[in-house]
Amino acid sequence: MESFTITSKKVLTLVLVIDKAEQKVLLGYKKRGFGAHLWNGFGGKVEPGETTREGALRELEEEAGITVKTEDFKKAGILLFQFENDPVALETHVYKSYEYQGLIRECEEMRPQWFAFADVPYDQMWEDDRIWLPMLLNGQDPFYGRMYFKRKPVEDTKEIETTVTSVVNTSTSTHVNHSTTMTGTSFTTAQPKSGPFAMCDYQLEHSLQGVPREIALDGTIASFEN
Ligand SMILES: Nc1ncnc2c1[nH]c(=O)n2[C@H]1C[C@H](O)[C@@H](COP(=O)(O)OP(=O)(O)OP(=O)(O)O)O1
């Protein structure tokens, strides 16, 4: 795997909030940036001086407007995402909670929405999600894994075409909505359906020894949480 050799990693977080009684999971539609136009959990880069747990709670509040008590916030696993010809891997710390406080709200980066477990839009998510998210939803965590991605040829990223309707309202500000029903100036835009990367290989294991804290560059679990 010469083209997948890594020399360093960035630390990211990903949070799934679950309504156990209703069998629903809260996902966010990413409106911009890395992974734009895909549904995902909430998360992002861990900032200097933050623990992964603190970073995950901060991102959840920023992106969905809700908080989770420390005792309800559980580490579900770690995923190391690797990209062809990119020496920097993304070490993503996955958390879950069955409880939350506050009112769910949209922000400029994410549009939150509840999905029944049976209706999770895997065809509009990172390809690896269909491997590990069902495990998380079924309580088969903690887990750890490595996922390998290649960039898709440009023509393969034009899988769906969405009509974007630009509405200019009377106060002259411009709102852009993915909609086919609103009036205004419409144009068609190509969107990647499952992102610009194709997963070409993966390894995922249920962690029997405990909750993984860190994955070493060689893919082994570097340490476990106490
Ligand atoms: N392959 C895959 N599957 C599932 N989830 C993810 C991936 N790759 C990823 O990066 N992710 C997740 C991990 C993070 O939750 C986000 C990416 O975070 P990002 O938006 O880059 O970080 P922020 O700190 O919020 O970004 P900016 O504020 O800099 O825009 O996707």
The full DSSP string for 92-137 is EEEEEES--BS-----SSEEEEEEEGGG--GGGB-TTHHHHHHHHH
Mean pLDDT, residues 195-217 taken together: 94
Protein residue closest via CA to atom 25 of ligand 1: 44
Task: Encode pLDDT of 71-127 as tens digits.
Answer: 999 999 999 999 999 999 999 999 999 999 999 999 999 999 999 999 999 999 999
pTM of the shown model: 0.86
Determine the pLDDT at residue 158.
54
- pLDDT given for residue 183 in this prediction: 27
Global ipTM: 0.95
| Residue recorded with tokens 């747990």 | 53
Pocket test of ligand 1: the residue of 42, 126, 201 to mutate, having most ligand atoms within 8 Å of its CB, is: 126
- For residues 147 and 192, what is the distance between their CA atoms, to the nearest angstrom? 19
Region 215-223: mean pLDDT is: 91
The pLDDT, as a whole number, for residue 67 is: 98
Please give the single-letter amino acid code of residue 116: A
Q: How do residues 132-190 score in pLDDT, each as one tens digit?
A: 999 999 999 999 999 999 998 876 655 444 433 333 222 222 222 222 222 233 333 44
Looking up tokens 């998510």, which residue turns up?
125
Question: pLDDT value at position 187?
Answer: 33
- pLDDT at site 155: 67
Per-residue pLDDT band at 192 (split at 50, 70, 90) = low
Nearest residue (by CA) to ligand 1, atom 26, is 44
Cα Dmax for the chain: 61
Query: How many A from CA of 133 to the centre of ligand 1?
Result: 16
Q: What's the pLDDT at 157?
A: 56
Give 3-state DSSP helix, strand, coil % of the chain, rounded to 5. 15, 45, 40
Residues 26-72: pLDDT tens digits? 999 999 999 999 999 999 999 999 999 999 999 999 999 999 999 99
Pocket of ligand 1 (CB under 6 A): 12-14, 33-35, 40, 43-45, 81, 90, 92, 126, 128-129, 147
How buried is residue 122: exposed, middle or buried, by Cβ count under 10 Å (0-12/13-18/19+)?
middle
User: Quick check: 52 and 46 in contact, CB under 8 A?
Assistant: yes
Nearest residue to 7 (alpha-carbon basis) of 93, 79, 82, 94: 82
Instruction: For the chain, list the domains and their CATH numbers.
Output: 2-224 (3.90.79.10)
Q: Does the pLDDT at position 226 exceed 90?
A: no
